[in-house]
A and B are shown apart, each in its own frame.
Chain A
Amino acid sequence: METAELASILWLTLKLALVTTLCLLVVGTPIAWWLARTRSRFRDVVASIAALPLILPPTVLGFYLLIALGPSGPGGWLAGLSGGRTLAFTFEGLVIGSVVYSLPFVVQPIRNAFEAFGERPLEVAATLGASPWNAFFTVALPLARPGFLTAAILGFAHTIGEFGVVLMIGGNIPGETRVISVAIYDLVESGDWGAAHLLSAGLVLFSFTVIMVMLRLGSARGEG
Chain B
Amino acid sequence: MKLLSRLFSLLVISGMLLPFAAARSLADEVRIAVASNFSVPAREIARAFETATGNKVTVSFGSTGKIYAQIVQAAPFDVFMSADQERPQLLEQQGLAVSDSRFTYALGRLALYAGGTDVKGPGLLVADRTDRIAVANPELAPYGRAAVEALAKLFPDEDFGSRLVQGENISQTLQFVETGNARLGLVAYSQVISRDAAQYWLVPEGLHSPIAQDAVLLKSADANPVARAFMDFLRGAEAENIIRRYGYSAHVRGGS
A24 on the B face (CB < 8 A)? no
Size of the B side of the interface (Cβ < 8 Å), in residues, is 25
* A171 x B66 contact (CB < 8 A): no
Stretch of A64-72, A116-124, A206-214 that contacts chain B: A64-72
B130/A173 in contact, CB under 8 A: no
- Say yes or no: is A15 at the interface (Cβ < 8 Å to chain B): no
Please tell me if the beta carbons of B181 and A70 are within 8 angstroms of each other in the complex: yes
Q: In the complex, what residues of A have CB within 8 A of residue B68's CB?
A: 191
Question: CB-CB < 8 A to A76: which residues of B?
Answer: 180
- In the bound assembly, the distance between CA atoms of A189 and B62 in angstroms comes to 11
Question: Is the beta-carbon distance between B65 and A66 smaller than 8 angstroms?
Answer: no
Contact with B along A58-80 (1 / 0, CB 8 A): 00000000110111100010000
- A171 near B166 with CB under 8 A, answer yes
- B223 CB to closest chain A CB, in angstroms? 28
Given A85-B132, A173-B165, A69 and B65 contact (CB-CB distance below 8 Å): no
Interface positions of B from 1 to 47, Cβ below 8 Å from A: none
Tell me whether A189 and B175 are in contact (CB under 8 A): no
Instruction: State in angstroms the CA–CA spacing of A137 and B215 once bound together.
Output: 66
Given contacts A85-B132, A186-B140, A191-B68, contact A172 B168 (CB under 8 A): yes
Interface, chain A (partner B; CB < 8 A) = 66-67, 69-72, 76, 83, 85-86, 88-89, 167-168, 171-173, 185-186, 188-191
B126 → chain A, closest Cβ, in Å? 17
Q: For the complex, what is the distance from the CA of A66 to the CA of B165, rounded to whole Å?
A: 14
A-B contact pairs, 23 of them (CB 8 A): A66-B176, A66-B181, A67-B179, A70-B179, A71-B180, A71-B181, A72-B180, A83-B130, A85-B181, A86-B132, A89-B181, A89-B182, A167-B168, A171-B132, A171-B181, A172-B166, A172-B168, A186-B137, A188-B69, A189-B69, A190-B65, A190-B139, A191-B65
Which residues of the other chain, B, contact A86 by a CB distance below 8 angstroms?
A: 132, 180-182
Of residues 86 through 106 on chain B, the ones whose CB sits less than 8 Å from some CB of chain A are 90
A66 is contacted by which of B63, B168, B179, B183 (Cβ under 8 Å)?
Answer: B179
Please name all residues of chain B whose beta carbon is closer than 8 Å to the beta carbon of A72 when the two chains form the complex.
Answer: 180
Q: A76-B180, A173-B166 are in contact. List 20 more A-B contacts (CB 8 A).
A: A69-B181, A71-B180, A85-B132, A85-B181, A86-B181, A88-B181, A89-B132, A89-B181, A171-B134, A171-B165, A171-B176, A172-B137, A186-B137, A186-B139, A186-B140, A188-B66, A189-B65, A190-B65, A191-B65, A191-B68
Which chain B residues in 142-170 approach chain A with CB under 8 Å?
A: 165-168
**Chain A, Cβ-Cβ closest to B168:** A167
User: Which positions 179-205 of chain B face chain A at CB distance < 8 Å?
Assistant: 179-183
B98 to chain A minimum Cβ distance, whole angstroms, is 21
A70 in contact with B180 given A172-B165, A172-B168, A186-B137 (CB within 8 Å): yes
Collect the chain B residues with CB atoms within 8 Å of residue A66's CB.
175-176, 179, 181
Minimum distance in angstroms from A68 CB to a CB of chain B? 10
Measured between C-beta atoms, what is the minimum distance from A173 to chain B in Å?
A: 6
Q: Which residues of A contact B90 (CB under 8 A)?
A: 191
Closest-by-CB residue of B relative to A84 is B130
Chain A residues with CB below 8 A from B134, complex form: 171
Q: Provide the bound-state CA to CA distance between A190 and B63, in Å.
A: 11
Residue in A67, A88, A168, A189 with the greatest tally of chain B CB atoms within 10 Å: A189
How far apart sit A18 and B43, CA to CA, in the bound complex (Å)?
45
Pairs A-B, 6 closest by C-beta atoms: A189-B65, A171-B165, A71-B180, A172-B166, A88-B181, A86-B181
Contacts known (A186-B140, A189-B66, A190-B140); A85 close to B168, Cβ less than 8 A: no
A188, B176: Cβ atoms closer than 8 Å: no
Given contacts A71-B181, A171-B176, contact A189 B63 (CB under 8 A): yes
Output the least CB separation between B61 and chain A (Å): 15
Closest to A66 in B: B179
| Nearest opposing residue in chain B for A169, CB measure | B181
Q: How far is the CA of A86 from the CA of B165 in the complex (A)?
A: 12
Q: How far is the CB of B80 from chain A (nearest CB, A)?
A: 15
Contacts of B132 in A (CB 8 A): 85-86, 89, 171
On chain A, the residues within 8 Å of B63 by CB distance are 189
Residues of A within 8 A of B172 (CB): 168
CB neighbours of B167 from chain A (8 A)? 171-172
Of the candidates B65, B66, B130, B137, the one whose C-beta lies within 8 Å of that of A85 is B130
